[in-house]
């Protein structure tokens, strides 16, 4: 298969971890006879420095014509001054919105080798394998905002169509997994949540009768997610609730450096990126954990290129490297045993040469 992959390394550790993910994708291409073509473009702080814009027109044009986009992370102290007019994060919001990427998938599957890195008791984490589908381009983050003398407001609005499309996406995912879907809202208080619940019930009932749907209120869901994480499979929710619940869910895996994500729209393609930021505190030291970026490359293979076998091979290679104890400093308290970005990448590449 031929595929055009746009690479947006961004800032801080972004370039370090995307380089690892690109190496892995190149290895997959050569092993399976695919022709992947990589082109790097600017985004975030690096783009501001070079062009004054966090999302240059040239980057957006390349992203629009790409089969998939691999992104690192953006931001850093250099561009964080409150007086700064253009912020790196604007580039990220703008590209998601421009490409219509309304479904943000965040799988959480703690690995046996890293259970100790989580603050949650290991026996609660065994067997956890869940995926949050967060609505990404609507709700309160995108509603009208006002700032008066003595007050401020943010409008939360959802249309039926916005809810339908993300629920369909999540229900299809649930059908392909365990058949269980949990929808999270605040329907006891919010009108947008009552609409969310009505639409979800209708879409699942009419189009996915084989999917078992349960509704949870977001406040008690925050508790259940830590108390009984094993009982969830696919979780679908609106933008702000998803933002908060996925940071919470990240703690089940133990480190931000292990969690990939995919942001998808109606068509093929999408943006694939680790959920962590640019980690300025460790940038340039060669110690960043590239597993999340490599697992994001696996999601790219699965969701953008529909290469499920290849995606599973990359995930297996990561799992075997973790089993072999190839851990970065964020994953082990044993400093003497911790390895750097390159050693992890090489361990994964080595596993990829074995039968899968």
**Residues binding Mg ion (CB under 5 A):** 243
- List of residues contacting ligand NAI (CB under 6 A): 13, 17, 73-76, 80, 89, 92, 256-257, 276-282, 288-289, 292, 328, 330
Given ligand NAI, Mg ion, none, residue 330, with its beta carbon under 5 to 8 Å by kind, binds: ligand NAI
Which residue is catalytic, options 109, 129, 233, 243? 243
Q: Is 154 a catalytic residue?
A: no
CB nearer ligand NAI, residue 36 or residue 242: 242
Given Mg ion, ligand NAI, none, residue 281, with its beta carbon under 5 to 8 Å by kind, binds: ligand NAI
Can you say which residues are annotated as belonging to the binding site for NAD(+)?
76-89, 277-289
Given Mg ion, ligand NAI, none, residue 89, with its beta carbon under 5 to 8 Å by kind, binds: ligand NAI
Which residue is catalytic, options 49, 154, 198, 247? 247
Q: Other CB atoms closer than 10 Å to residue 266's CB: what's the count?
A: 10
Cα–Cα distance list, 301 to 138, 222, 292, 327 (Å): 27, 31, 14, 24
Distance CA 225, CA 231 (A): 9
Per-residue exposure over 340-351, b if at least 16 CB sit within 10 Å of its own CB, e if not: bbebbbebbbeb
Mode of pairing for the β-strands spanning 145-147 and 152-154: antiparallel
Task: Tell the smallest beta-carbon distance from residue 243 to Mg ion (Å).
Answer: 4
Distance CA 269, CA 265 (A): 8
Given Mg ion, ligand NAI, none, residue 243, with its beta carbon under 5 to 8 Å by kind, binds: Mg ion
Distance CA 234, CA 183 (A): 9
Q: Other CB atoms closer than 10 Å to residue 2's CB: what's the count?
A: 9
**What are the φ and ψ backbone dihedral angles of 82, each rounded to 5 degrees?**
-55, -25
Can you say which residues are annotated as belonging to the binding site for Mg(2+)?
219, 243, 247
CB nearer Mg ion, residue 207 or residue 243: 243
Q: Is 32 a catalytic residue?
A: no
Task: Tell the smallest beta-carbon distance from residue 334 to ligand NAI (Å).
Answer: 16
Specify whether the CB–CB gap between 21 and 301 falls below 8 A: no
Minimal CB distance residue for Mg ion:
243
Distance of CA 24 to the CA centre of its chain: 18
What separation, in Å, do the N-terminal and C-terminal C-alpha atoms of the chain show?
19
Distance CA 356, CA 301 (A): 15
Task: Tell the smallest beta-carbon distance from residue 66 to ligand NAI (Å).
Answer: 18
Task: Tell the smallest beta-carbon distance from residue 290 to ligand NAI (Å).
Answer: 7
Distance CA 314, CA 159 (A): 38
CB nearer Mg ion, residue 164 or residue 243: 243
Which residue is catalytic, options 23, 185, 186, 330? 186
SS3 label, residue 125: helix
Distance CA 280, CA 255 (A): 16
Task: Tell the smallest beta-carbon distance from residue 275 to ligand NAI (Å).
Answer: 7
The set of residues, in sequence order, having a beta carbon less than 8 Å from that of 202 and lying 6+ positions away, is none
CB nearer ligand NAI, residue 76 or residue 138: 76
Phi-psi region of 342 (alpha: psi -120 to 50; beta: other; left: phi over 0): alpha
Q: Is 334 a catalytic residue?
A: no
Which residue is catalytic, options 49, 219, 323, 334? 219
Can you say which residues are annotated as belonging to the binding site?
76-89, 96, 106, 134, 219, 243, 247, 277-289
Q: Is 141 a catalytic residue?
A: yes
CB nearer ligand NAI, residue 6 or residue 92: 92
Given ligand NAI, Mg ion, none, residue 107, with its beta carbon under 5 to 8 Å by kind, binds: none
Task: Tell the smallest beta-carbon distance from residue 247 to Mg ion (Å).
Answer: 5
Cα atoms in the Cβ-side hemisphere of radius 13 Å centred on 336: 0
CB nearer Mg ion, residue 38 or residue 141: 141
Given ligand NAI, Mg ion, none, residue 73, with its beta carbon under 5 to 8 Å by kind, binds: ligand NAI
Can you say which residues are annotated as belonging to the binding site for substrate?
96, 106, 134, 219
Q: Is 323 a catalytic residue?
A: no
Q: Catalytic positions, please?
A: 141, 186, 219, 243, 247
């Amino acid at each position: 298969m031929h595929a055009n992959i746009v690479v947006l390394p961004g800032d801080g550790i972004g370039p370090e971890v995307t380089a690892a993910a690109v190496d892995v994708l190149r290895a997959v291409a050569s092993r399976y006879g695919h022709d992947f073509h990589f082109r790097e473009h600017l985004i975030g702080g690096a783009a501001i420095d070079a062009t004054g814009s966090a999302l240059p027109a040239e980057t957006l044009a390349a992203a629009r014509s790409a089969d998939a986009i691999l992104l690192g992370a953006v931001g850093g102290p250099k561009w964080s001054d409150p007086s700064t007019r253009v912020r790196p994060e604007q580039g990220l919001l703008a590209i998601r919105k421009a490409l219509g990427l309304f479904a943000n998938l965040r799988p959480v599957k703690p690995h046996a080798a890293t259970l100790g890195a989580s603050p949650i008791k290991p026996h609660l984490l065994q067997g956890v394998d869940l995926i949050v589908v967060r609505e990404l381009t609507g709700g309160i983050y995108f509603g009208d905002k006002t700032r008066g003398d003595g007050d401020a407001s943010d409008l939360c609005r959802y249309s039926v169509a916005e809810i339908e499309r993300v629920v369909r996406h999540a229900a299809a995912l649930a059908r392909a997994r365990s058949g269980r879907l949990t929808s999270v809202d605040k329907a006891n208080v919010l009108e947008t949540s009552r609409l969310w619940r009505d639409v979800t019930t209708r879409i699942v009932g009419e189009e996915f009768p084989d999917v078992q749907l349960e509704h949870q209120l977001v406040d008690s869901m925050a508790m259940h997610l830590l108390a009984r994480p094993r009982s969830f499979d696919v979780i679908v929710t609106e933008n702000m609730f998803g933002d908060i619940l996925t940071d919470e869910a990240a703690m089940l895996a133990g480190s931000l450096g292990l969690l990939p994500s995919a942001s998808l729209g109606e068509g093929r393609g999408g943006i694939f990126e680790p959920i962590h930021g640019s980690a300025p505190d460790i940038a340039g030291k060669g110690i960043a954990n590239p597993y999340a970026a490599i697992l994001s490359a696996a999601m790219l293979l699965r969701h953008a290129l529909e290469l499920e076998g290849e995606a599973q091979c990359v995930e297996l290679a990561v799992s075997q490297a973790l089993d072999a104890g190839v851990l970065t400093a964020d994953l082990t308290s044993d400093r003497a045993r911790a390895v750097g970005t390159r050693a992890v990448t090489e361990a994964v590449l080595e596993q990829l040469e074995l039968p899968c």
